[in-house]
């Protein structure tokens, strides 16, 4: 029994001013102290990286103060907490965000300036943690920002990948992948908690035993064990509360296998360490593509088991009993990547804590909520049963038992037919058999949500139809949102300044307040300021493009932006077909009134995704053709910015005039880039897909360039006899660009290079590019017309921003809190 230190001591005056004071001088003192005593440098020998680290530690102390204060409150008031489980996070660089949240950007810049240091230069040193593939990981980070801002008690769990998403280089127009060494200079934002670690078991077999008292228990005898250690990064909300990102790293339990070592087999002794550490070595770089790899299953189980063991420890630490776990924790599953948690919690409760099955199941179901992020069949996780049995034999038994009880219930309580049973079961018996993780997550949760109104409807209509029929109240929608702090305040300081000087600063935590800008939409002075800011942001991006690619882009061109993962359903190649169309028109001399346009692409392709990589090659080939041709290059530019990341995105969004959101309807669950671009004043050209639908509802048809088939029409056409070739025959423009695609002009050294794209579009066209081409061109014609009247365009840009209030991640988190978690924010508490 240790006596706790009086908490007030930690926030006493002396400590406050010395260690966590927010004045310019306090910050300067702390910075120097960190430079000398933490980094161990004198200014003469210090590198810019040392300076960055010294500042990062300075800021981290102040962030920790807020975090510790929040944790104390949660503990004292015994509050209910959200545990967010996600295999991916994309927080972006921390330094500038933490300065903003603490409200110390100005005094820190001044403190650095007094030392002759340019703070902006330090900010640029930071390597961002690329611990995710795209939208799903970034959403998790926006949600963490919002939970901390509003004051939803929370802890976010994930994997500390040693190598995050690969670094993308473009060589000869092709993507090359390099390892992301984000930890090579250390990570000043994290604290290792060596004492917080859990043993994780894999493989082996199970033994069912009845002890002398007649109690039945199951022993899992694994064939390997390793340890997960916690690495904590404090997350600070905007002028708000603290939260924590707790990431697990896999380690060997013993560094050496001593029996092997003693026999002289040094190599084998170290091998175990290497194998253990493999689990958290690298992020799988596939977005919405299931891999079925054993290591991936191990990653998922590893982080889920660590996280659940940690929650149980925290629960018991508060002096509670496990019967009340669901009252104190709302565990949210970010897609099915952590869905094994349903079986793992059952194992912990039933096997380790000897709670009976029914009670355990009740606790489990009440703990979990499941968010589905995609309807793409190739992304729905299934684990082959032989593989699963090899890695998690006890969990297979538990899943069989859950399945058995579920099927019985369906049969005898609900009178389901055999077809229904086989459609809904957790096990798919076809082939070698597999486990349907979306079904496990649905059955094991009390709420299931989609990420936009359309997506949630389609989820109930197709992928989880039978479940929605059975349990209509289990299903709900929470439309995605984005953090206005990161995606305007940090990314677009000029626009932030103008908005704040016009309507005050309340909008940063209550985005609906942007509606006050509506009054200004037609004010010529305001419009001029708005346009000037866009122009400055474009000039800055243009400099960046020149630096990265060597290509000059005139900032007076329209910046047409298409940035996101490269995927056929997102239809970057539809955009390219239009660019080729414009090119051919210029070549024919039909370019009198043509608006000069820069097409800006960025995004990574999964390393094994042939078509996506070919699309990158196509974009760069079109760029090579156009950018060098003096007959066209004052009218058109095509840019592919390599290595898209949160950092780079923050640079691109503020400079966009037009946002391309052109996925085939029914395929993009929500999209969040659409929101980021619109919030920065870009107008959208898009289909009725994902959150575009709701954006258009908010923004109004007149301020949105809509085109293409809707989800129902897509469905209908697919079921009918869709012949993409008909569009080729009937549309002259389409025929011209398709013919050009395989003319060899784009790839003289390999004339057949783009034939796979050509043939797929003409004979199969799964994403209905041919069907939507004409409509896309008609909508684009409206874009050009509107662009011609710059004052009108600017008015629409202002209206776009003014009506984006709904898409704050703060609103999304309020929705999760009231619909799913039943947790009050600190803001709503007495
Ligand atoms: C699925 C499997 C592996 C890795 C990622 C996914 C994934 C990503 N599933 N959905 N997403 C995207 O999630 C975003 C956040 O909800 C959505 O905005 C976007 O439409 C999804 O494609």
Is the same domain home to 56 and 151?
A: no
Is the same domain home to 514 and 373?
A: no
Report the nearest-CA residue for atom 8 of ligand 1: 136
Residue 120 CA to ligand 1 centre (angstroms): 32
**Strand partners for 658:** 560, 683
Q: What is the pLDDT of residue 827?
A: 78
Distance of alpha carbon 802 from alpha carbon 824, whole angstroms: 28
Atom of ligand 1 nearest to the CA of 480: 16
Distance of alpha carbon 752 from alpha carbon 304, whole angstroms: 47
Distance of alpha carbon 460 from alpha carbon 451, whole angstroms: 12
User: Could you give the percent of the chain with pLDDT greater than 70?
Assistant: 97
Looking at the predicted complex, does its ipTM rise above 0.90? Answer: yes
**Strand partners for 191:** 232
Residue 261 confidence (pLDDT) above 60? no
Is the same domain home to 441 and 573?
A: no
Q: What is the pLDDT of residue 8?
A: 73
Choosing from 246, 676, 780, 795, the catalytic residue is 676
* Residue matched to tokens 């034939």: 755
**Packing angle between helix 732-741 and helix 572-587, nearest 10 degrees?**
100
Residue 281 belongs to some domain of the structure: yes
Atom of ligand 1 nearest to the CA of 139: 15
Residue 526 confidence (pLDDT) above 80? yes
Cβ of 136 closer than 6 Å to ligand 1, yes or no, is: yes
613 CB-contact burial (10 Å; exposed 0-12 / middle 13-18 / buried 19+): middle
- Clarify whether 676 is annotated catalytic: yes
**Strand partners for 84:** 156, 332
68 contacts 54 by C-beta, under 8 angstroms:
no
Distance of alpha carbon 153 from alpha carbon 81, whole angstroms: 5
User: pLDDT tens digits for 459-476?
Assistant: 999 999 999 999 999 999
Average pLDDT score over residue span 153-174: 98
Choosing from 60, 328, 570, 571, the catalytic residue is 570
Residue 43 confidence (pLDDT) above 80? no
Residue 171 CA to ligand 1 centre (angstroms): 28
Distance of alpha carbon 811 from alpha carbon 808, whole angstroms: 5
For the chain, what is the domain count?
A: 3
702 contacts 797 by C-beta, under 8 angstroms:
no
Residue 615 belongs to some domain of the structure: yes
Residue 283 CA to ligand 1 centre (angstroms): 15
Is the same domain home to 244 and 346?
A: yes
Helix and strand counts by DSSP (H, E) for the chain: 35, 22
Residue 825 confidence (pLDDT) above 80? yes
User: pLDDT tens digits for 310-341?
Assistant: 999 999 999 999 999 999 999 999 999 999 99
What DSSP letter does each residue of 786-814 carry, written as one string? HHTSHHHHHHHHHHHHHT-GGGBHHHHHH
Residue 372 CA to ligand 1 centre (angstroms): 9
Average pLDDT score over residue span 78-92: 98
Q: What is the pLDDT of residue 373?
A: 98
Residue 661 belongs to some domain of the structure: yes
- Clarify whether 564 is annotated catalytic: yes
Lookup: tokens for 502: 């016009």
Q: What is the pLDDT of residue 541?
A: 98
Is the same domain home to 455 and 489?
A: no
User: pLDDT tens digits for 194-205?
Assistant: 999 999 999 999
pLDDT band at 442 (very low <50, low <70, confident <90, very high): very high
CA distances from 501 to 466, 504, 506, 524, 802 (A): 52, 6, 11, 16, 15
Starting from the edge strand earliest in sequence, which strands make up the sheet with 447-450, in order? 191-202, 224-236, 242-251, 154-159, 81-85, 329-334, 368-371, 447-450, 475-477
Report the nearest-CA residue for atom 15 of ligand 1: 136
* Residue matched to tokens 């102290």: 33
User: pLDDT tens digits for 565-610?
Assistant: 999 999 999 999 999 999 999 999 998 889 999 999 999 999 999 9
pLDDT band at 257 (very low <50, low <70, confident <90, very high): low
Distance of alpha carbon 681 from alpha carbon 534, whole angstroms: 8
Distance of alpha carbon 792 from alpha carbon 530, whole angstroms: 12
Sign of CA dihedral 689, 691, 697, 701: negative
Q: What is the pLDDT of residue 215?
A: 86
Q: What is the pLDDT of residue 320?
A: 97
Is the same domain home to 108 and 233?
A: no
Report the nearest-CA residue for atom 6 of ligand 1: 288
Quick one: CA torsion of 150, 311, 396, 137, rounded to 10 degrees?
30
Report the nearest-CA residue for atom 18 of ligand 1: 671
Lookup: tokens for 98: 């933490």
pLDDT band at 16 (very low <50, low <70, confident <90, very high): low
CA distances from 322 to 77, 361, 441 (A): 18, 12, 21
- What DSSP character marks residue 750? S
Lookup: tokens for 387: 């593989």
Distance of alpha carbon 357 from alpha carbon 363, whole angstroms: 10
Residue 13 belongs to some domain of the structure: no
Distance of alpha carbon 803 from alpha carbon 793, whole angstroms: 15
Is the same domain home to 119 and 186?
A: no
Residue 135 CA to ligand 1 centre (angstroms): 6
Q: What is the pLDDT of residue 262?
A: 64
Distance of alpha carbon 15 from alpha carbon 30, whole angstroms: 12
Q: Is 169 helix (H, G, I), strand (E, B) or coil?
A: strand
Q: Which residue has the higher pLDDT, 412 or 265?
A: 412
**Strand partners for 167:** 178
Atom of ligand 1 nearest to the CA of 135: 14
Domain of residue 759, residue span: 485-807
Q: What is the pLDDT of residue 42?
A: 78
CATH number at residue 436: 3.40.50.2000
Residue 578 CA to ligand 1 centre (angstroms): 27
User: Could you give the percent of the chain with pLDDT greater than 90?
Assistant: 92
Q: Tally the residues of the chain.
A: 830
Residues 6+ apart with CB under 8 A from 565: 133, 134, 135, 287, 603, 604, 605
Residue 9 belongs to some domain of the structure: no
Residue 1 confidence (pLDDT) above 90? no
Q: What is the pLDDT of residue 256?
A: 53
Residues 6+ apart with CB under 8 A from 186: 53
Atom of ligand 1 nearest to the CA of 671: 18
Choosing from 60, 564, 604, 795, the catalytic residue is 564
Q: What is the pLDDT of residue 17?
A: 59
Residue 408 CA to ligand 1 centre (angstroms): 33
Cβ of 26 closer than 6 Å to ligand 1, yes or no, is: no
- Clarify whether 44 is annotated catalytic: no
CA distances from 512 to 72, 152, 451, 509, 679 (A): 32, 20, 20, 9, 12
Is the same domain home to 68 and 166?
A: no
- Clarify whether 565 is annotated catalytic: yes
Residue 228 confidence (pLDDT) above 70? yes
- Clarify whether 207 is annotated catalytic: no
Cβ of 444 closer than 6 Å to ligand 1, yes or no, is: no
Atom of ligand 1 nearest to the CA of 373: 10
User: For strand 154-159 and strand 242-251, is the pairing parallel, antiparallel, or unpaired?
Assistant: parallel
Residue 12 belongs to some domain of the structure: no
- Clarify whether 359 is annotated catalytic: no
Is the same domain home to 676 and 631?
A: yes
Pocket test for ligand 1, best of 138, 140, 373, 677 (most atoms within 8 A of CB): 373
Is the same domain home to 249 and 156?
A: yes
Distance of alpha carbon 133 from alpha carbon 285, whole angstroms: 6
Distance of alpha carbon 498 from alpha carbon 532, whole angstroms: 11
Cβ of 376 closer than 6 Å to ligand 1, yes or no, is: no
Q: What is the pLDDT of residue 41?
A: 84
Residue 149 belongs to some domain of the structure: yes
- What DSSP character marks residue 491? T
Is the same domain home to 39 and 153?
A: no
Residue 431 CA to ligand 1 centre (angstroms): 28
* Residue matched to tokens 């004198």: 42
Q: What is the pLDDT of residue 11?
A: 64
Average pLDDT of every residue of the chain? 96
168 contacts 604 by C-beta, under 8 angstroms:
yes
Distance of alpha carbon 228 from alpha carbon 250, whole angstroms: 5
Phi, psi of 3 (to 5 degrees): -85, 135
Is the same domain home to 244 and 175?
A: yes
pLDDT band at 258 (very low <50, low <70, confident <90, very high): low
CA 607 to chain centre: 19
Distance of alpha carbon 614 from alpha carbon 219, whole angstroms: 51
Choosing from 373, 394, 571, 795, the catalytic residue is 373
Residue 366 belongs to some domain of the structure: yes
Closest CA to 810 of 496, 499, 479, 456: 479
Residues 6+ apart with CB under 8 A from 514: 499, 503, 507, 801, 802, 803, 804, 805
Cβ of 139 closer than 6 Å to ligand 1, yes or no, is: yes
Distance of alpha carbon 383 from alpha carbon 377, whole angstroms: 14
Closest CA to 47 of 114, 129, 121: 121
408 CB-contact burial (10 Å; exposed 0-12 / middle 13-18 / buried 19+): exposed
Closest CA to 576 of 754, 723, 749, 696: 754
What DSSP letter does each residue of 412-440 carry, written as one string? IIT---HHHHHHH-SEE-STT-EEEHHHH
Q: How many CA atoms lie within 13 A of 429 on its CB side?
A: 8
Sign of CA dihedral 544, 548, 554, 558: negative
Atom of ligand 1 nearest to the CA of 690: 20
How many CB atoms are closer than 10 A to CB 510? 13
């Amino acid at each position: 029994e240790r006596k706790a230190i009086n908490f007030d001591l930690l926030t006493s005056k002396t400590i406050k001013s010395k260690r966590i004071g927010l004045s310019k001088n306090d910050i300067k003192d702390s910075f120097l102290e960190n430079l000398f005593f933490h980094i161990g440098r004198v200014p003469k020998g210090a590198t810019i990286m040392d300076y960055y680290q010294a500042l990062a530690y300075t800021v981290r102390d102040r962030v920790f103060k807020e975090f510790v204060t929040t944790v104390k409150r949660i503990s004292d008031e015994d509050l209910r907490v959200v545990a967010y489980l996600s295999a991916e996070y994309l927080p972006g660089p921390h330094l500038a965000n933490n300065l903003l949240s603490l409200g110390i950007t100005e005094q820190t810049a001044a403190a650095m300036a007094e030392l002759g240091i340019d703070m902006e230069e330090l900010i640029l040193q930071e390597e961002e943690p690329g611990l995710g593939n795209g939208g799903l990981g970034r959403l998790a980070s926006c949600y963490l920002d919002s939970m901390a801002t509003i004051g939803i008690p929370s802890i976010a769990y994930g994997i500390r990948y040693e190598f995050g998403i690969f670094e993308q280089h473009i060589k000869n127009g092709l993507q090359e992948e390099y390892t992301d060494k984000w930890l090579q200079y250390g990570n000043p934002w994290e604290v290792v908690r060596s004492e917080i670690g859990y043993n994780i078991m894999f493989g082996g077999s199970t033994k069912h035993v009845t002890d002398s008292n007649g109690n039945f228990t199951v022993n899992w005898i694994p064939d390997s064990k390793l340890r997960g250690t916690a690495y904590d990064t404090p997350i600070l909300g905007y002028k708000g509360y603290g939260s924590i990102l707790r990431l697990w790293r896999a380690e060997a339990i013993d560094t050496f296998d001593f029996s092997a070592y003693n026999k002289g087999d040094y190599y084998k002794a170290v091998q175990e360490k290497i194998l253990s550490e493999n689990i958290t070595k690298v992020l799988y770089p596939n977005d919405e593509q299931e891999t079925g790899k054993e290591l991936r299953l191990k990653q998922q189980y590893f982080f889920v088991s660590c996280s659940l063991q940690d929650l149980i420890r925290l629960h018991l630490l508060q002096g509670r009993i496990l019967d009340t776990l669901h009252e104190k924790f709302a565990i949210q599953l970010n897609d099915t990547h952590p869905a094994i948690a349903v079986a793992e919690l059952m194992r912990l409760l039933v096997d380790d804590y000897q709670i009976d099955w029914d009670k355990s199941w009740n606790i489990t179901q009440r703990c979990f909520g499941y968010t589905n992020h995609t309807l793409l069949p190739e992304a729905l996780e299934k684990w082959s049963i032989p593989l699963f049995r090899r890695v998690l034999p006890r969990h297979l038994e538990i899943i069989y038992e859950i399945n058995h009880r579920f099927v019985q219930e369906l049969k005898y309580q609900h009178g389901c037919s055999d077809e229904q049973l086989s459609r809904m079961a957790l096990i798919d018996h076809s082939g070698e058999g597999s486990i349907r993780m979306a079904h496990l997550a649905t059955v094991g949760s009390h709420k299931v949500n989609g990420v936009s109104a359309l997506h949630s409807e389609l989820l109930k209509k197709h992928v989880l139809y039978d479940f929605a029929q059975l349990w209509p109240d289990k299903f709900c929608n929470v439309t995605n949102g984005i953090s206005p702090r990161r995606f305007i305040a940090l990314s677009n300081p000029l626009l932030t300044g103008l908005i704040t000087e016009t309507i005050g600063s309340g909008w940063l935590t209550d985005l609906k307040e942007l509606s006050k800008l509506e009054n200004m939409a037609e004010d010529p002075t305001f419009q001029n300021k708005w346009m000037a800011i866009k122009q400055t942001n474009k000039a800055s991006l243009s400099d960046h493009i020149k630096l990265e690619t060597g290509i000059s882009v005139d900032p007076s061109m329209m910046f047409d932006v298409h940035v996101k993962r490269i995927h056929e359903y997102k239809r970057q190649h539809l955009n390219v077909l239009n660019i080729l169309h414009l090119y051919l028109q210029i070549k024919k001399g039909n370019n009198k009134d043509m608006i000069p346009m820069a097409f800006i692409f960025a995004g990574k392709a999964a390393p094994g995704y042939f078509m996506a990589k070919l699309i990158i090659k196509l974009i760069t080939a079109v760029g090579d053709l156009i950018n060098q041709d003096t007959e066209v290059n004052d009218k058109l530019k095509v840019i592919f910015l390599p290595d898209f990341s949160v950092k780079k995105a923050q640079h691109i969004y503020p400079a966009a005039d037009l946002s391309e959101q052109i996925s085939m309807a029914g395929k993009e669950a929500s999209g969040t880039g659409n929101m980021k671009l619109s919030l920065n004043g870009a107008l959208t050209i898009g289909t009725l897909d994902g959150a575009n639908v709701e954006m258009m509802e908010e923004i109004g048809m007149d301020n949105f360039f809509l085109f293409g088939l809707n989800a129902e029409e897509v469905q209908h056409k697919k079921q009918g006899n869709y012949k993409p070739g008909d569009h080729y025959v009937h549309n002259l423009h389409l025929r011209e660009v398709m013919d050009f695609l395989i003319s060899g002009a784009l790839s003289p050294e390999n004339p057949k290079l783009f034939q796979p794209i050509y043939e797929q579009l003409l004979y199969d066209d799964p994403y209905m590019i041919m069907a939507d081409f004409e409509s896309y061109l008609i909508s684009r014609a409206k874009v050009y017309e509107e662009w011609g009247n710059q004052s009108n365009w600017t008015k629409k840009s202002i209206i776009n921003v003014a009506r984006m209030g709904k898409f704050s991640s703060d609103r999304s988190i309020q929705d999760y809190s009231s619909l799913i978690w039943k947790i009050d924010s600190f803001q709503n508490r007495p």
